[in-house]
Amino acid sequence: MIRGFYASKLGMIAQQNNLNTIANNVANINTVGFKPQNTAFSALLYENIDGGGGVEISTGHGVKVQKIGIDFTQGFLKPTGRTLDCAIEGPGFFAIQNRETNTTTYTRDGVFHISVEGEQSFLVDARGNYVLGQDGNTINITDGFEATTLGVFAFDNPYGLTLLGNNQFAVSDLSGQPEADAQSTIRTGYLESSATDSATEMVKMLESNRAFSFNSRIVQSTDEMEKTVNQLR
């Protein structure tokens, strides 16, 4: 009974993490360039126990969240008519340089603005960080903005990128180093909608909620059986 109690407890924890991931996807259904996350589960170790009569029974120890992956499905391109709005049609990413840390991150969010610094103007993102060109330098738009100056980068394994939050990704050993992306196309006057599908997320939420409730009932039943056994002693 104790084994069943803890296995169900781990199942509840795993499903709670899954519900949190789904809730985050739904909350970002209107976020530009957002890529939804998916929860992957894995079973814990199994062991053989004596079932009596020389029969061994294989029993598990529950489940855990193995990984929270990212779905890089292309979002719908929505026209805005604004020159500084840019969308990537393809697998590429824009490169952003953080003003405070001077580190480079990557995003699909193409909502750009102008930062006037003295007599010069630079292209920045919604948070005021510099947008980088193909040469890795900031983009000076004092004389006007041309989409061809934007850097678009691709990775051998984009699923290996580290999610930092705020629609930003960082390079990791698994992703490989960024390279200039010749496959993608920049569409000015467009923004990429969130790739979250509301119907899919609602179905996943119902499934996860039912699994959570099922494990909760097992915990309750196991506790009641344990209580009954203790009262018989």
pLDDT tens column, 95-145: 999 998 999 999 999 999 999 999 999 999 999 999 999 999 999 999 999
Q: How confident is the model at residue 51 (pLDDT cuts 50, 70, 90)?
A: low
Q: What's the whole-number average pLDDT of the chain?
A: 90
> If you compute the radius of gyration of the chain from its CA atoms, what whole number of angstroms results?
25
> Would you state the structure tokens that stand for residue 133, as one six-digit string?
């060109």
**Distance in angstroms (rounded) separating the CA atoms of residues 158 and 174:** 8
pTM above threshold 0.85: no
b/e per residue 202-217 (b: at least 16 CB within 10 A): eebbeebeebbeebee
Kindly report the backbone phi and psi dihedral angles of residue 183, in degrees, each rounded to the nearest multiple of 5, phi listed first: -85, -30
Q: What residues contact 54, with CB distance under 8 A and at least 6 apart?
A: none
The answer, yes or no, to whether residue 49 has pLDDT greater than 90, is no
> Would you state the structure tokens that stand for residue 85, as one six-digit string?
């709005």
Q: How confident is the model at residue 171 (pLDDT cuts 50, 70, 90)?
A: very high
Percent of the chain beyond pLDDT 70? 96
Q: Are strands 120-125 and 185-188 parallel, antiparallel or unpaired?
A: unpaired
